[in-house]
Structure 1
Amino acid sequence: MVQCVILAAGEGKRMRPLTGSRPKVMIPVANRPMLEHLINAIRDCGINEFVLVVGYHEAAVRHHFGDGSDFGVSIRYVTQKRQRGTGDAVLNVLSHVNGDFLLLNGDMILSREDIKAVLSSPSPALGICKSDHPRDFGVVTVKDGIITGFEEKSENPKSDLINAGLYLFNYDLFSHLKLITPSPRGELELTDALLPYIKAGSLHAVMLSSWADMGSPWDLLTANEVLLVSLSSCIEGEIEDGVVLKGAVQVGKGTVVKAGTYIEGPCVIGKDCRIGPHAYIRGATAIGDNCHIGHSIELKNSIVMNHSNIPHFNYVGDSVIASGCNFGAGTKIANLRHDKKCISAGGVNTRRKKFGAVIGDDVLFGINCSVNVGAVIGNRCRIAPHCFVTGVISDDSVVKR
């Protein structure tokens, strides 16, 4: 039986401030940690034995998944005590693997069909996909279904095919891992162990039909959109008279949707929330547990994590709001430049023409604040009333007029 090893030890520095209090793999997408979506998809392909390599904030992973029985699988954990690279992370599972195994990064969304395609390939195999910005990834060259070359984040990539971080290996991998040396950044890189396979012409390429990489916070919105496409309606909470639900909408137990609220699916709302009255929630929105989305709110294409409140006369579009945030009445987030060009956040091009803000945990806004496109607001910030917020705001900042 094929086992599955998932690398889930990293912090995900490019995901800050969202990873200040949680590992990257536990950031919710469509109201579930991204790692949960991955485990469920792999389980549905017939694999039920998992080894998770954990490290940064590992308690969050262990607490959520336990021994795996609640998810219909068996999970063992291996701790990577120091972040010494992906090669070192895989070496830690040496005593837990006994044959062919699926190996993948825990910070992506994959389809069941693509996982099955890799499992059906001869070992060793590597999942690849096309990218319109390959210089941001490891690039591969392929001939007749065999990987012929690999280069890491080249300014002049030799192809538009990238390493998707999904592998099928056998036990021979460990003999190659034991021979690699630290890279220029001082880490043991898993990709260095691919070179003997490439030289021997034995590394098979499997083209993936879809792939959602979670490199930066705005990538969460794309993954959220993809996952919500297949959402089915399920109402477990209370829907008052005068509420309009259009399309696929899920409402969790204990949630009350008050009169005058209009919800366009796909939209998922967690448990014990208060929605409305007279709220307008538009498609591709995920609202966590214990949230308050109140009177005269417009919310679209966004992720709102647990215990956050957007209660009075607010607009939030194309944004990621972490846990424990509170918006003062009239506070709004802009999500479109006047010139309609792609929006940058923290000096990085999001490649999105519509993008609002990334807001960390426990951020409190006063009344009538304005948040500019591409703003990144750190954890535990306090924003005084009537402030204009733009750019990157560090953790624990106090912003005044």
Structure 2
Amino acid sequence: MNYILYDGAFRAALLPFTFTRPVADLRIGILTIREKWEKYLGLTTTTLTEEYLSDKYPMLEMEANVFINAGYIPNIDFFKAVKNLKANQKVVCKDDILAFYSTEDQEEVDFDTYESITIENVESIENKWDLFLKNEYAILQDFEMLTKDEISMEIPEGVQAVNKSQIFIEEDATISPCILNASNGPIYIAKDAVVLDGALIRGPFALGEKALVKMGAKIYGATTIGPNCKVGGEVKNSIIFANSNKGHDGYLGNSVIGEWCNFGADTNVSNLKNTFSKVRLWNYEDEIYEDTQQMFCGLMMGDHSKTGINAMFNTGTVVGVSANIFGSDLPEKFIPSFTWGGGKLMDVYNLKKAIRTARKMMELSHCEISEQDIFILEEVYQQTKKYRNKIED
């Protein structure tokens, strides 16, 4: 069977993260949505996404296909329903279509003629803040799947561990004397990850492959530090996708950070208003600040964005792709993609310079920016031009 992950109706609500990737490649829990499905299925998947992303994330259609809505977090019931799908069947939850069977010769899919396979209790990712809100649920799901019938490395001598049965360490991870407290949720440390001396980590927590927790870091759950990230300072209930650095002191809470981002020393993020009122967050689709109904909400930062030393962010700030923020003044709560500066003094970030910076950061991690990556950045630059119009004027 051929499995195809499609973006679904939530993609626009998940910008800026979905400017540069399909919904399937969002990280929540230990794994991305795609990695979860491929682990469950034991097969690779392809993607139905925006046309400008399709060269990097292509779709392969075969004679028989199952299309899966990537906006829902897979669990065992969802997986079983998908695995058992037959022709002219769909998986539904609360009237939402989560997956359906399709054949190559179907000119169109008429869901009214499909038999419904109903399942319950499937979590959706309908808003960008759902990523950190539902990260605990996703870590628990992934931890159970990844550790089943597996044996953890022994916890090294000198590590103070609480609730050891809920701590799993993959091979070749390096853990210096620190505190791992899994009393509130599991702790998963992936292959070749490093935890340095004096780190204080409370679960639920996931540390990706080749990621680094620096000395004296204070991390509260539910937090995910993706592959090849470096993290220091204080972090609470946040997700950092991959290849990003928050290597110094400073606070990050109730936030989601994309790939190839870098935080200057003492960058701080507010996640709670002094009035204790609900946080409003920029909505790209409607071009308004929408009510999240959340009291705690920090920073949503797209790929390739950077901060200078001592940068500060207001509660509920959205930063686009390839923005560079610096200076001592608080910036606006919506910072468009490809902008440069701080406070009220923002300028357009030259596209060629932004690509050059992206290339240099990727080279530091022995990665090469591809022509596909450059094309995506160029397309995002054009798509987000309207948000920079006031700056350009």
TM-score by length of 2: 0.69
Could you say if the C-alpha distance between residues 204 and 337 of structure 1 is closer, same or farther in structure 2, counting changes exceeding 3 Å? farther
Structure having the larger proportion of residues in strand: 1
- Residue in 1 that maps onto 2:360: none
Partner SS, residue 100 of structure 2: strand
Displacement after TM superposition at 1:356 (Å)? 1.0
Verify: 1:19 aligned to 2:25, yes or no. no
Partner SS, residue 323 of structure 1: coil
Letter in 1 for 2:53: H
- Residue in 2 that maps onto 1:234: 169
Verify: 1:33 aligned to 2:32, yes or no. yes
Letter in 2 for 1:225: E
Alpha-carbon contact 1:280-1:299 (below 8 Å) kept:
yes
- Residue in 2 that maps onto 1:246: 181
Give matches, 1:27-66, under 5 Å: 27-41=26-40, 43=41, 52-53=47-48, 55-61=51-57
- Residue in 2 that maps onto 1:143: none
Alpha-carbon contact 1:306-1:324 (below 8 Å) kept:
yes
Partner SS, residue 107 of structure 1: coil
- Residue in 2 that maps onto 1:364: 306
Alpha-carbon contact 2:132-2:239 (below 8 Å) kept:
yes
d(CA) in 1 for partners of 2:209, 2:44: 30
- Bigger CA drift: 381-390 or 114-123? 114-123
d(CA) in 2 for partners of 1:361, 1:52: 20
Verify: 1:102 aligned to 2:72, yes or no. no
Alpha-carbon contact 1:9-1:58 (below 8 Å) kept:
no
d(CA) in 2 for partners of 1:6, 1:385: 41
- Residue in 2 that maps onto 1:111: 75
Partner SS, residue 206 of structure 1: strand
d(CA) in 2 for partners of 1:128, 1:10: 15
Partner SS, residue 296 of structure 2: coil
Candidates 245, 251, 268, aligned match of 1:332: 268
Structure 2: stretches of 5+ with no match in the other structure = 148-167, 283-288, 344-393
Letter in 1 for 2:131: L
Displacement after TM superposition at 1:215 (Å)? 3.4
Letter in 2 for 1:336: L
- Residue in 2 that maps onto 1:261: 199
CA distances 1:375-395 after superposition (whole Å, capped 9, x unpaired): 101122122232213421101
Verify: 1:194 aligned to 2:130, yes or no. no
TM-score by length of 1: 0.67
- Residue in 2 that maps onto 1:220: 131
Letter in 2 for 1:397: T
CA distances 1:209-241 after superposition (whole Å, capped 9, x unpaired): 222333332222244322201425124421112
d(CA) in 2 for partners of 1:317, 1:237: 26
Give matches, 1:251-290, under 5 Å: 251-290=189-228
Candidates 297, 318, 337, aligned match of 1:376: 318
- Residue in 1 that maps onto 2:165: none
Verify: 1:305 aligned to 2:266, yes or no. no
d(CA) in 2 for partners of 1:194, 1:167: 9
- Residue in 2 that maps onto 1:319: 255
Alpha-carbon contact 1:252-1:269 (below 8 Å) kept:
yes
Larger-gyration structure (1/2): 1
d(CA) in 2 for partners of 1:26, 1:13: 15
Partner SS, residue 57 of structure 2: helix
Displacement after TM superposition at 1:51 (Å)? 6.0
d(CA) in 1 for partners of 2:44, 2:320: 38
Q: How many residues are paired up?
A: 308
d(CA) in 2 for partners of 1:40, 1:274: 24
d(CA) in 1 for partners of 2:81, 2:209: 36
Displacement after TM superposition at 1:50 (Å)? 5.7
CA distances 1:54-89 after superposition (whole Å, capped 9, x unpaired): 544234436xxxxxxxxxxxxxx43xxxxxxxxxxx
d(CA) in 2 for partners of 1:97, 1:10: 25
Displacement after TM superposition at 1:49 (Å)? 8.4
Could you say if the C-alpha distance between residues 373 and 49 of structure 1 is closer, same or farther in structure 2, counting changes exceeding 3 Å? closer
Displacement after TM superposition at 1:194 (Å)? 2.2
d(CA) in 2 for partners of 1:349, 1:127: 31
- Residue in 2 that maps onto 1:387: 329
Could you say if the C-alpha distance between residues 164 and 223 of structure 1 is closer, same or farther in structure 2, counting changes exceeding 3 Å? farther
Could you say if the C-alpha distance between residues 269 and 204 of structure 1 is closer, same or farther in structure 2, counting changes exceeding 3 Å? same
d(CA) in 1 for partners of 2:8, 2:55: 11
d(CA) in 1 for partners of 2:115, 2:267: 52
Letter in 2 for 1:234: I
Partner SS, residue 18 of structure 2: coil
Could you say if the C-alpha distance between residues 293 and 167 of structure 1 is closer, same or farther in structure 2, counting changes exceeding 3 Å? same
Alpha-carbon contact 2:196-2:215 (below 8 Å) kept:
yes
Partner SS, residue 17 of structure 2: coil
Alpha-carbon contact 1:122-1:204 (below 8 Å) kept:
no
- Residue in 2 that maps onto 1:398: 340
- Residue in 1 that maps onto 2:6: 7
Could you say if the C-alpha distance between residues 171 and 26 of structure 1 is closer, same or farther in structure 2, counting changes exceeding 3 Å? closer
Could you say if the C-alpha distance between residues 327 and 12 of structure 1 is closer, same or farther in structure 2, counting changes exceeding 3 Å? same
Could you say if the C-alpha distance between residues 350 and 385 of structure 1 is closer, same or farther in structure 2, counting changes exceeding 3 Å? same
CA RMSD between the two structures: 3.0
d(CA) in 1 for partners of 2:92, 2:10: 24
